[in-house]
Amino acid sequence: MDITMIGMIVVGFVVLLMLFYFMANLYQKCGPNEAMIVTGAVPGGIQVVRGGGAIVWPLINQKHSLSLEVMTIEVHSQAAMITRNGVPIYVEGVAQVKVRGDEEAIASSGTLPQQING
């Protein structure tokens, strides 16, 4: 074998490694307590993946993650609320919310990136 043949084999091997690396980075995963919402050029508008993975093409698709665990939200009133008897009250409370695990609920709660990313 001459030096050009060895060079071509090495270059081909490097190109093959780069191709495998690129393809491995296209596959995005989410945990069992998460949902991944893929938007962009997806048939049907969005793709919802629960506890699995999907191929996300750069510049074509966007990936958003949504937690399916219980979230605690503190609620504080900024101004006094006036009761029927005219008594001003300030309200403080804690709410625990959770997104249902079915595809329709995940899709409707994750349509806006602001809702997903916080």
| 1, part of any domain | no
| Owning domain of residue 72 | 30-117
pLDDT in tens, 47-64: 888 888 988 988 888 888
CA gap 43, 60 in Å, rounded: 12
pTM (two decimals): 0.62
E-only strand ranges, the chain:
27-29, 34-40, 46-50, 53-55, 61-67, 71-76, 81-82, 88-89, 92-97
Identify whether 46 is part of a domain. yes
Count Cβ atoms below 10 Å from residue 63 Cβ, excluding itself: 16
Among residues 67, 60, 47, the alpha carbon closest in space to that of 116 is found at: 67
- Residue 58 has a pLDDT of 85
Asked if the structure places residue 3 within a domain, the reply is no
Q: 19-41 pLDDT, tens per residue? A: 999 888 899 999 888 988 888 88
Per-residue pLDDT of 60-109, as tens digits, reads 888 888 888 998 999 888 888 899 999 999 989 999 988 888 888 887 87
| Domain total in the chain | 1
In-domain check, residue 17: no
